[in-house]
Amino acid sequence: MNQISEAANSPTMGRRKTLIGLLPGLLITLVFAAISFLTWWLLKGTWLKFSALLWAFIYSIIAVNSLPALTKERFLPGIEFASTRLLKISIALLGLTFSASVWVRMGGEGVAVVLINLVIVFLLGLLFCKYILKLDIDLAILITAGTCICGASAIAAVGPALRAKAEKMGLSVAVITLFGLIAMLVYPILFAGPLAGWLNNSPQAFGMWVGMGIHETAQVIAAASQINDALSIATSAKFIRIFMIGPMVFISLYIFHRFSKNTEQGKFKMTIPWFAVFFIIFSLVYFAIESTSLKNSWIALSSNYIAPVVTFLLAWAFAAIGFKVKLSSIRAIGLKAFLGGITIAALAGVSSLLLVKFFWMPFQL
């Protein structure tokens, strides 16, 4: 009898019970991830080319707020695992899809204006959200980092480091996606109209502006594709911002540590976000392999196999985050966040336009 009891309490048995407990939540979020990935694949050639992450987020929020059965306790362990551990693993692996070589390709002046714009938008946006709108510091950081880096992916990276609630991550994604979509439509119109002469009708200048000012990668591609010869430089500028995901996690964590009420009460302890460390390491690994004879094979492997897998994992994690979002909580804090989102989006557009005009274009002559 004792032997049976000991076997039941063995580490192996405990791990098996833990895995079984995770399965319902993991499977339901996996289904939503698959549906989202399929939606992205079917619509990627249309104007609705939202990322699989965003579709997963939309579908899961609608489902969990419409079907109370999905909130049952048996789903919670798997949802928690996917929205935390799986999310961090996915962010780390994202580094294998971006090369640090983008810094070399853009040249000194290109890198400089992208980083200057990032700093301007982050600092002024954070000050506006924190001191004018009086938003919680974690929500202010999420909205600002999402705008100046790369939308949902940046929020997915920064959120776990701040231990942000799902509702705040969800609200940040909604705000950034909305104004990113508006920017995607407005930028080409402005370039075709009043800003054409001001930017010397230069597709490269337009591409730099789009790559520096619009939030999501898909939105950057969609906007830049409207103007011939703008896409390459737009994506290069965007990739510099994406590479800054890792450093931004550390910066955001430091700021949160300084301003969080929990810190003041001695409840918050600064920790190292290892997933951000590995994101940077993997980006450098990509760069190192690019410098060898394996370059073409590695790029093909990364773009054709690693990138889709990582995208799917991120969609899986975002489906889980969506399952933790209650619309009632979003409504309670929504208006100020939307004011913050539109203000920071406008700031990003104006500051990037001015930097391109006065600090980048003169070096291209």
State the 10-residue block means of pLDDT for the chain, 365 residues long.
Answer: 50 66 90 92 76 82 83 85 86 81 78 94 95 93 91 84 84 82 85 90 93 83 79 81 86 87 49 73 89 91 90 88 72 78 94 95 80
Q: Would 266 be classed as within a structural domain?
A: yes
Q: Would 253 be classed as within a structural domain?
A: yes
pLDDT at 265: 42
Q: For residue 258, give both structure tokens.
A: 């300084």
Q: What separation in angstroms does the CA of 46 have from each of 38, 191, 213, 231, 311?
A: 14, 21, 22, 17, 19
CA 206 to chain centre: 23
Q: For residue 130, give both structure tokens.
A: 């924190």
Overall pTM surpassing 0.85 (yes/no)? no
Q: Would 27 be classed as within a structural domain?
A: no
pLDDT at 208: 94
CB of 279 within 8 A of CB of 246?
A: yes
pLDDT at 153: 78
Q: Would 88 be classed as within a structural domain?
A: yes
Q: Would 212 be classed as within a structural domain?
A: yes
H-assigned helices in the chain: 2-8, 11-43, 52-66, 76-81, 87-94, 102-127, 137-148, 152-162, 166-192, 203-213, 217-224, 231-243, 245-259, 261-264, 274-290, 295-301, 307-323, 327-355
CB-count exposure of residue 271 (10 Å: 0-12, 13-18, 19+): exposed
Q: Would 358 be classed as within a structural domain?
A: yes
Distance in angstroms (rounded) separating the CA atoms of residues 250 and 330: 26
pLDDT at 130: 92
Domain count, the chain: 1
pLDDT at 7: 47
Q: Would 42 be classed as within a structural domain?
A: no
CB of 78 within 8 A of CB of 246?
A: no
Q: Would 131 be classed as within a structural domain?
A: yes
CB of 59 within 8 A of CB of 35?
A: yes
Q: Domain containing 214: what range?
A: 51-63+77-364
Sequential DSSP letters for 99-129: -TTHHHHHHHHHHHHHHHHHHHHHHHHHHII
Q: For residue 247, give both structure tokens.
A: 């450093």
CB of 87 within 8 A of CB of 29?
A: no
Distance in angstroms (rounded) separating the CA atoms of residues 32 and 17: 24
